[in-house]
Structure 1
């Protein structure tokens, strides 16, 4: 059947989407255990019943029903893959335009002490998740195009998107993914308490102004506490997304594992979007440059988690040594204009335990092809790393 929505607060139901086709037996068990109201679209559900009935009448039985569903899924995925990138960017741009209004209204609600419009926020997170399924690259690219004047609001949309994407990459459960999306939307709500003249200042902040800006995590939590229905995780990310792995962050100087995983995720997503966005005091950096800088800031982030973030967006900084699923080591190269493809130099076989002829390849990203699985510290590489230009011309797919 087709689920159209749920009654009550959107984070109280067991799914991270509010509208979806129910096909998984595990999801059916979750639905049976849910004690709230469920809104079912009978029209769309009836279409499935007719398809199943037709399958039974053909004599194919249950196996044919499964094949029919798989065929529909494959056909849908094929159509999605065939959709042109410009069309997906247009779809993503329309989503972002609507998201701007939703986040602005949500921030106003919080600032004025009103309860967050749960269903409106739920619909936005649902739309973001749907676009990630259709074409994540299109949405991430559109979110990099925000103007200086829209930054505070669309930065929240971008962090929400990156948080959802990372949580799904880490295979977190539906409830965690849904709540992390909400946390991303609200992480910077405390900036509503900071004067715009300070937030939009084109030059370097004075010591007094910097101290004022650093009050926004605690100011944000104070605002969020007015809505008792908000999950604690959202407040945790709001309060601690500026903590650093080495304890030099703020507001509490937490160190290492004392910083919760959601807050560490928030820190990475927040900084990455900030670096790749136009700000009042700087131009946007290219994603590869941003990731390179973040990787070089020793002690700033949980390094293992930062690498997983890179895997979630399929981008890596030039010069990083990575391990591939094929059992080879490679040096990441600049990917030029191919923002969704990883370009690298193969130079060592872990299987054979020897250096191999350096070969430049571009990972295709297709199912069954080679992929990045881990990173290797330079001092742990058994042979000298090739000293070459990190920006050679592209050659082959792997």
Structure 2
């Protein structure tokens, strides 16, 4: 042992590390340890409870054998204990040799705070070592991360409510074999000696609790205090586990599987993989089946996946509306499937670009050129999807951002060079993206979007604009409608003319503090008065019900 900071851990109780200072070292004779900063442990020391010390040497953690207090020294408000020099110590290396994995039922909550992200990502700890940890994350969270990304902090919260934060960076992000969950490998950065000792304590306690839960015979081990949660915490967790009704019902549950695919695909793309042919085909088939079963329920379910990123929400909405329009125009089944599949992945190339290009309010000419690369980036990854019609991919992905007047990208094609699917996709893409907020611009109302498309007939095919409006209406299914009496209601169903005939009233703008929960349909809608417009739900902090 050397003079300097160390941790004192009792052999009994929870074994938590207490910060102390090794003051004097008389080789092979005695150690003097200052406990002035942690006087709450003095009674335990005076009772003779055995303890050991943890410290650092040459990048490794050293733990001593069990020690006892031999002498007390107090002067100038400093309190020291003297113990025999340890005759043995364990040298513990830093990395993989001491990776502790958590068994089922051992829950450690993890919160990742990433620069540039307003909302932290929540996950659970998979394993912990002195050098880093593996975090199990929802696919939506993993899709927002990139390898080598610096994390502002990673917070570990144990069941006994003990928590601490560590600086780290992401080393890798992967999905599991079933594409149902993701794992992020994080490496700790510049940990202080005291923090390293705390991490080592947690590693030991995880190993101890894991061994205890695996024992089937013999004398059971004492449970780790880190994994003993207060009763009220257990009750809260039980309440949270109770199933909550999913907005959008069973259709939204099945649609979530498609969203999971898109998030997992983004993770794979960021790792250099190609678009997965089988998974894309299955997800497309899911959308086709859901449309056949209940077209309007599918349109509403698209609006219900509000926990997904803007990119995933947009991809789903465009795919479903291209499917709906394509069905209405009688596209052959194989060609329709290719259209829907291409619409699903048409914007995923943006996930391969620097985050700043998607967050900055204004972009330079060079940045605009770099942003336009997203089209080619995703088309390059379609090589394994040999069932995908190349002509459809060229139109739905390659030409989605082209305009009739030649002002689009990536090729600046003009009217005569843009075939039917490209014109259709341009309208569907813009009609959705403009109803969503982006840096420097609030979401537009549906009327404003339609007005924009009509007044830019030089850029958008007027025939497809009219077809879109006739198909989806001035208050599309899944939009938040404002009525003359001040009611705000989610549009859930349309009549044969494309007008709302079933809504769910959630608020009246004249009494905004009072939330409502009132489904209305048919003639009962008359009490709301005339439909005035659709509004941005974020303004009222409302989500579909």
TM-score scaled by length of structure 1: 0.54
Q: Which residue of 2 aligns with 1:27?
A: none
Q: After TM superposition, list the pairs within 5 Å mapping 1:83-102 onto structure 2.
A: 89-102=248-261
Q: Which residue of 1 aligns with 2:374?
A: 216
Query: Which ranges in structure 2 are unaligned for 5 or more consecutive residues?
Result: 1-244, 477-482, 503-527, 532-545
Flag the 1:208–1:143 CA change in 2: closer, same or farther, 3 A: farther
Higher Cα radius of gyration: 2
Flag the 1:244–1:311 CA change in 2: closer, same or farther, 3 A: same
Q: Which residue of 2 aligns with 1:167?
A: 326
Matched, 1:253 2:415: no
Q: Hey, what's the Cα distance between the residues in 2 that align with 1:149 and 1:199? A: 16
Report if the CA contact (8 A) 1:113-1:227 is conserved. no
If asked which structure has higher relative contact order (CA below 8 Å, sep 6+), I would say 1
Q: Out of 268, 272, 290, which is 1:131 matched to?
A: 290
Flag the 1:207–1:195 CA change in 2: closer, same or farther, 3 A: same
Which stretch of the first structure deviates more once superposed, 264-273 or 178-187?
Answer: 264-273
Q: Which residue of 2 aligns with 1:312?
A: 471
- 1:146 CA displacement: 5.4
Q: Which residue of 2 aligns with 1:297?
A: 456
Q: Which residue of 1 aligns with 2:337?
A: 178
After superposition, what is the alpha-carbon deviation per residue over 1:242-298, rounded to whole angstroms, capped at 9, x for unaligned? 111222211122122411222222211211121122434434333333222222222
Q: What SS does the corresponding residue of 1:240 show, helix, strand or coil?
A: coil
Q: Hey, what's the Cα distance between the residues in 1 that align with 2:380 and 2:347? A: 12
Flag the 1:197–1:362 CA change in 2: closer, same or farther, 3 A: closer
Q: After TM superposition, list the pairs within 5 Å mapping 1:40-189 onto structure 2.
A: 89-110=248-269, 112=271, 114-144=273-303, 150-189=309-348
- 1:341 CA displacement: 4.6
Report if the CA contact (8 A) 1:160-1:182 is conserved. yes
Query: Which ranges in structure 1 are unaligned for 5 or more consecutive residues?
Result: 1-85, 318-333, 345-360, 366-391
After superposition, what is the alpha-carbon deviation per residue over 1:105-145, rounded to whole angstroms, capped at 9, x for unaligned? 23344555545433332332232233334443443344345
Which structure is higher in strand share? 2
After superposition, what is the alpha-carbon deviation per residue over 1:89-114, rounded to whole angstroms, capped at 9, x for unaligned? 12233234222210122334455554
Matched, 1:206 2:364: yes
Flag the 1:118–1:223 CA change in 2: closer, same or farther, 3 A: closer
Q: What SS does the corresponding residue of 2:438 show, helix, strand or coil?
A: coil
Report if the CA contact (8 A) 1:240-1:263 is conserved. yes
Q: Hey, what's the Cα distance between the residues in 2 that align with 1:313 and 1:362? A: 9
Flag the 1:393–1:272 CA change in 2: closer, same or farther, 3 A: same
Q: Which residue of 2 aligns with 1:57?
A: none
Q: What SS does the corresponding residue of 2:282 show, helix, strand or coil?
A: helix
Q: Which residue of 2 aligns with 1:193?
A: 352
Flag the 1:225–1:343 CA change in 2: closer, same or farther, 3 A: closer
Q: Hey, what's the Cα distance between the residues in 1 that align with 2:303 and 2:354? A: 24
Compute the RMSD of aligned alpha carbons.
3.6
Q: Hey, what's the Cα distance between the residues in 2 that align with 1:172 and 1:131? A: 17
Q: How many equivalent residue pairs?
A: 252
Flag the 1:88–1:188 CA change in 2: closer, same or farther, 3 A: same
Q: Hey, what's the Cα distance between the residues in 1 that align with 2:365 and 2:393? A: 29
Report if the CA contact (8 A) 1:243-1:250 is conserved. yes
Flag the 1:174–1:109 CA change in 2: closer, same or farther, 3 A: same
Q: Hey, what's the Cα distance between the residues in 2 that align with 1:89 and 1:173? A: 29
